[in-house]
Amino acid sequence: MREGLQELAANRETACRGPDPRATDRQHAKGKLTARERIALLLDEGSFQELEQLRRHRASGFGLEDKRPYTDGVVTGWGTVFGRTVFVYAHDFRIFGGALGEAHAEKVHKVMDRAIAAGAPLVSLNDGAGARIQEGVTALAGYGGIFRRNTAASGVIPQISVMLGPCAGGAAYSPALTDFVFMVRDTAQMFITGPDVVRSVTGEEITHNGLGGAQVHGGVSGVAHFVYDDEQTCLEEVRYLLSLLPSNNRELPPSTPNGDPAGRATDALRELVPAGGHQPYDVRDVIAEIVDDAEYLEVSELWATNIVCAFARLDGHPVGVVANQPRSLAGVLDIHSSEKAARFVQFCDAFNIPLVTLVDVPGFLPGVDQEHGGIIRHGAKLLYAYCNATVPRVSLVLRKAYGGAYIVMDSRSIGADVTLAWPANEIAVMGAEGAANVIFRREIEAADNPASVRAQRIKEYRAQLMHPYYAAERGLVDDVIDPGETRRVLARCLSMLRHKHAELPGRKHGNPPQ
């Protein structure tokens, strides 16, 4: 037994150290941590339990039979984050460049199956060179198994992909199937075809980061939801996100006691939002004033900036906040903002996270590019997501809500549980100026003084159909509230709705607009 234990200890030490000590130095020289160092930052200290540490591949040919390192280039297992179970797998770039082969894939499949069975979140720490070419089609089949499990786990357990190095070819589709993608600037890249292929096919010259770096996916493509400068900060934010999410779709998100009273006055909101509908402001300031301790985690901060999606706590309970951003494109909805908000709403609904929608929207962005780009079907994605959501939903009109965009932003007519408005709200088909131009066009054109008549008709339209209480009088707004009471009222509404139960018609699944 003593000899067996000594052999086991030696094998474990070899597995942790890796086959080549210089590989660790090369990893650090690139500003990157090793797989085990990353896991240590992600999980609570001493909580990691590894799976199949001594697994080795059985492939042969192209020299593989002479290279059979332990772990086969991926570290898998589970541990805890703030005391709750989380499963993890981390590519070890020191071994085969983190490339996926048959044994590597089977280890990932096993940890994914365990996560689904245990009902616990899954975090992948990605730093790999794609499929192991020497193993041919078996490597590709391994990716297929991962994709199938990603899809099976969707909406069942939270799935988070953390990009800490290269991720190329088919390997990039697994992160795309997960709920959230984190990336580190300069060291992480994602693309289907690399710069060399792009150059040979199209003649375009571009760097790895220029093609698929964190800044590109965070601000241009929208593939990355969170972008950070270093691995330590990135992994700390993954822990924070996990603290806001339930372990699975059968649980409510975890609540935490806090020292920020639910009834705290929000008097600053009376001044934060300008009365003039065309004056910009930063809706993040409104969010910070409402939520606990002014803390929130914004999703896709750099992409589709005309809408803000964020996780926060209100009275100690996690909520998802969707808010138009007047500071960017006047807060209009367009193709990208509709997609961004729709996916966020769907995630919150899948994992029992209540939705708070802050509305200040002048409409959908007009233009040939938007129409030809499919704004109808893309805007319908957000409409579908809200209509399909059964979690508690509270919407608040901060200032204006015009046309179809008003309906889409969780209005009473599409199922919001509670709809509120501030006293200066304007809810209408369109702005008074545009409405007057349509309704009174002939009268204005025939007048001796068109400008005077137009101004008069605008005033009349605003007085009759756009006064703050028009929607409240017709039951489309449940209450008009003092901005200083916003936090207290929202907390009370969400408390009332905490155990809301709603069922959708029986069906295999819907067919959302694409």
pLDDT in tens, 238-269: 999 999 999 999 999 999 988 999 999 999 99
What does the H/E/C string look like for 39-71?
Answer: HHHHCCCCCCEEECCCCCCCCCCCCHHHCCCHH
Q: Are strands 166-168 and 189-191 parallel, antiparallel or unpaired?
A: parallel
**pLDDT per position as a tens digit, 318-345:** 999 999 999 999 999 999 999 999 999 9
Q: Do domains 11-244 and 268-425+469-497 have the same CATH topology?
A: yes
Place of tokens 């137009």: 454
Residue 18: left (phi > 0), alpha (psi -120 to 50), or beta? left
Is pLDDT above 80 for 136? no
pLDDT digits (tens, 9 = 90+) for 189-246: 999 888 888 898 988 999 999 999 999 999 999 999 999 999 999 999 999 999 999 9
Residue 355 and residue 34: Cα distance in Å, rounded? 38
Distance CA 263, CA 485 (A): 8
Catalytic residue of the set 404, 424, 434, 455: 404
61 is known as an active-site residue: no
CA dist., res. 41 & res. 234, Å (int): 10
More confident of the two residues 371 and 432: 371
- The crossing angle, in degrees rounded to 10, of helices 35-42 and 231-244 is 40
Which residues are within 8 A (CB) of 468 and not within 5 positions of it... i.e. 6 or more apart?
A: 421, 422, 423, 424, 425, 426, 480
Question: Band of the pLDDT at 276, cuts 50, 70, 90?
Answer: confident
Predicted confidence at residue 416, as pLDDT, reads: 97
* Average pLDDT across the chain, whole number: 91
Task: List beta partners, residue 122.
Answer: 87, 159
- What is the model's pLDDT at position 64? 66
Cβ partners under 8 Å of residue 64, min gap 6: 57, 134, 135
End-to-end CA distance of the chain: 61
101 is known as an active-site residue: no
CATH class of the structural domain 268-425+469-497: alpha beta
| Known active-site residue 170 | yes
Q: What whole-number distance in Å separates Cα of residue 31 and Cα of residue 58?
A: 32
Distance CA(181)–CA(212), nearest Å, equals: 13
User: How far is residue 394's CA from residue 306's CA, in Å, rounded to a whole number?
Assistant: 20
Every domain of the chain and the residues it spans: 11-244, 268-425+469-497, 431-467
pLDDT at site 178: 98
pLDDT at 225: 98
pLDDT at 96 over 80: no
Quote the pLDDT of residue 66: 63
Token code pair at residue 369: 């590019």
Beta carbons within 8 Å of 106's beta carbon, 6+ residues apart: 55, 142
CATH class of 11-244: alpha beta
Q: How far is Cα 18 from Cα 104, in angstroms, rounded to an integer?
A: 15
Q: Active-site residue 262, yes or no?
A: no
**What phi and psi values does residue 406 have, to the nearest 5 degrees?**
-60, -45
How confident is the model at residue 56, as a pLDDT? 80
Tell me the per-residue pLDDT of 34-59, one tens digit each, with 9 for 90 and over: 999 999 999 999 999 999 887 786 76
Asked whether the predicted pLDDT for residue 503 surpasses 90, the reply is no
In terms of Cα–Cα distance, which of 107, 18, 92, 91 is closest to 55? 107
Selected catalytic residue, list 389, 405, 416, 428 = 405
HSE value, Cβ hemisphere, 13 Å, CA-based, for 284: 15
Q: How many CB atoms are located within 10 Å of the residue 297 CB?
A: 16
For residue 71, pLDDT over 90 is answered with no
Residue written as tokens 């900036």? 305
Instruction: State the catalytic residue, choosing from 97, 136, 170, 277.
Output: 170
pLDDT (average), residues 479-508: 94
In angstroms, rounded to a whole number, what is the distance separating the alpha carbons of residues 292 and 262? 8
The whole-number pLDDT of residue 22 equals: 86
Q: Which of 61-75, 122-136, 158-172, 235-249 has the lowest mean pLDDT?
A: 61-75
Which of 469 and 243 is assigned the larger pLDDT? 243
Q: For residue 373, what pLDDT band results from cuts at 50, 70 and 90?
A: very high
Give the Cα separation of 179 and 157 in Å (integer). Answer: 9
Where is pLDDT greater, at 315 or 134? 315
Q: What is the pLDDT of residue 432?
A: 67
Per-residue pLDDT at 18: 75
- What distance in Å separates the CA atoms of residue 320 and residue 414, rounded to the nearest whole number? 18
Q: Across residues 168-191, what is the average pLDDT?
A: 93
pLDDT in tens, 390-425: 999 999 999 999 889 999 999 999 999 999 999 988
- Maximal C-alpha separation, the chain: 107
The active-site residue out of 119, 145, 155, 169 is 169
Helix (H) or strand (E) holding 122: strand 122-126
Q: Is 496's pLDDT higher than 70?
A: yes
